[in-house]
Structure 1
Amino acid sequence: MQKIQGALEKQAGVQKVKVLFNASKVKLEFDDSANTADALAEVVKKLGYEVKSVKVKQPAE
């Protein structure tokens, strides 16, 4: 859990990371001009975890 959070926090554009271990989810806020959801999912995969799906929500304005 700490491993995932730490790795994602180091990525460009990532502003907030919340790992929900019991739900097997990661929620994060990031600047999409600095990074992509797919690239961030790859970071998690490289740590040895499976990424089943990626959902992107646009912030409410």
Structure 2
Amino acid sequence: MQKIILQLEELVCPTCLQKIETAVGSLAGVQNLKVLFNASKVKAEIDPEKTTLEDVVKVIEEVGFDVLSTKVK
């Protein structure tokens, strides 16, 4: 499992958080998903055999949010 942290554009409403949680949570291999509203960050663990960091970025951008930076631990 890879731990990932994504810095997003500022989240302005709880609905934003729910859209991101639903989109990222629908990907195979995503666990321990946390969307931090006040920090505008997404933290998760991904199974690189089932999904990639690029997949996560893509679904977040598809629901209308810009990913400003990414980290893999």
Report Cα offsets for 1:8-35 as digits up to 9, x if no partner: 1110111121000110100011101111
Aligned to 1:53: 69
Aligned to 1:20: 36
2:56 is the counterpart of 1:40: yes
Q: Which runs of 5+ in 2 are unaligned?
A: 1-16
Whichever structure has more strand as a proportion of its residues is 2
The CA distance in 1 between the partners of 2:55 and 2:25, in whole Å, is 13
Normalised to the residue count of structure 2, the TM-score between the two structures is 0.73
- The match for 1:3 among 16, 19, 22 is 19
Normalised to the residue count of structure 1, the TM-score between the two structures is 0.86
Aligned length: 57
Q: Which has the higher contact order (CA 8 A, sep 6+)?
A: 2
Q: What value does the CA root-mean-square deviation take over the aligned residues?
A: 0.8
**4+ long deviations beyond 2 Å:** none
Q: Which runs of 5+ in 1 are unaligned?
A: none
